[in-house]
Structure 1
Amino acid sequence: MFFELRVYAMQPGKGPEFVKYMDDEIIPYQRSKGMTILASFLNDAEDTYVWIRRFKDEAEKEALYDAVYNNDHWRGEIAPKLPALMDVDNLQVTVLKATPRSYMQ
């Protein structure tokens, strides 16, 4: 089991709109495809969005990436709105593995 820690810089002044888009569109859509999304956060300045996804193994990750991103709905409806809301060229994704006593497993 492993996690993705995803960090996005939001476009100036777009924080509330981006959070709403994540909460109302992206997260429900990804969950409908089977993605496990554990949490989402804002930093103190409210200009950076952080979220955590969990995968059983690399095979599940590949299958979920395919289900989420390789279709007309993502490409035609969801993805085109993202550049106005976040810096799509500078997102950070870190793969994490839980330590034995971590509450997140």
Structure 2
Amino acid sequence: MIYELRRYTLRPGRRETLLSLFEREFVETQEAVGIDVIGQFRDLDDPDAFPWIRAFPNMADRKAALTAFYTGPAWQAHREAANATMIDSTDVLLLRPAGGRLPRWDRPPLGSGEAASSLWVATIYHVEPGFEAFFADEVASLLAAGGTPPVACFATEHAENTYPLLPVRTGEEVFVWFARFEREADERVVDVPALAQRLTAPPRRLRLTPTPRSTLR
């Protein structure tokens, strides 16, 4: 599977406008052409950001699905309204699975207004090659013992971008792991000193709450 972790920078105060539009017009219409819309979130630390995750079976299917969606009727009808909410849409990590699996819940129906109370934390490391084995052997168990077990892990997918009309970040090696807490108050941060010498940049933590129609809940 190929995953995209997308994080849009929005115009001030426009997040709810985009979320409403996205959940009404861009969920089923992406899935109809073969895109797995996995999760949409509010970023607790940035009210003008919209992070979300989607997936594809492989890079060839990604090209076909994105071509179908972005030339299709839903995007053509609503793209101006969506783009009007955004400052930047190029913060996109192309990822492959590197351990674990994101659990899925049934998607609430259109018009559902109640979001889940859970908190998802995506931690992004910039790393050197070989980090995956180090994380699995020496880090994951320490995180679990501290109350933040990694639910799923991902690493940079270095395949050529098969749909260049949508840029992705290149020239970097990242490792991303997700933790889930039942409530925001349950969040924990575990210090793993051995990580310091393995990272090439400071880690980044995205504290995410699911939107009403996210299948990550």
TM-score (norm 2): 0.44
Gaps of 5+ in 2: 103-151, 153-217
Gaps of 5+ in 1: none
C-alpha distance in 2 between matches for 1:23 and 1:72: 16
Q: In the alignment, which residue of structure 1 is the partner of 2:31? A: 31
Query: Are the aligned partners of 1:2 and 1:97 in contact in 2 as well (CA < 8 Å)?
Result: yes
Q: State the SS of the aligned residue for 2:101.
A: coil
Q: In the alignment, which residue of structure 2 is the partner of 1:41? A: 41
C-alpha distance in 2 between matches for 1:11 and 1:28: 25
Percent sequence identity is: 25
C-alpha distance in 2 between matches for 1:78 and 1:7: 19
How do 1:1-105 residues align onto structure 2 when only pairs under 5 Å count?
1-44=1-44, 45-75=46-76, 77-87=77-87, 89-99=88-98, 101-104=99-102
How many residue pairs were aligned? 102
Structure with the higher helix share, 1 or 2: 1
- The CA RMSD measured in Å over matched residues stands at 1.8
Query: Are the aligned partners of 1:15 and 1:85 in contact in 2 as well (CA < 8 Å)?
Result: yes
Please state how far the C-alpha of 1:73 moved relative to its aligned partner. Answer: 4.3
Gap change, CA 1:90 and 1:97, over 3 Å in 2: same
- Report the AA paired with residue 74 of structure 1: W
TM-score (norm 1): 0.84
C-alpha distance in 2 between matches for 1:58 and 1:83: 25
C-alpha distance in 1 between matches for 2:64 and 2:89: 24
Indicate the structure whose relative CO is greater, using CA pairs within 8 Å and at least 6 residues apart: 1
Larger Rg: 2
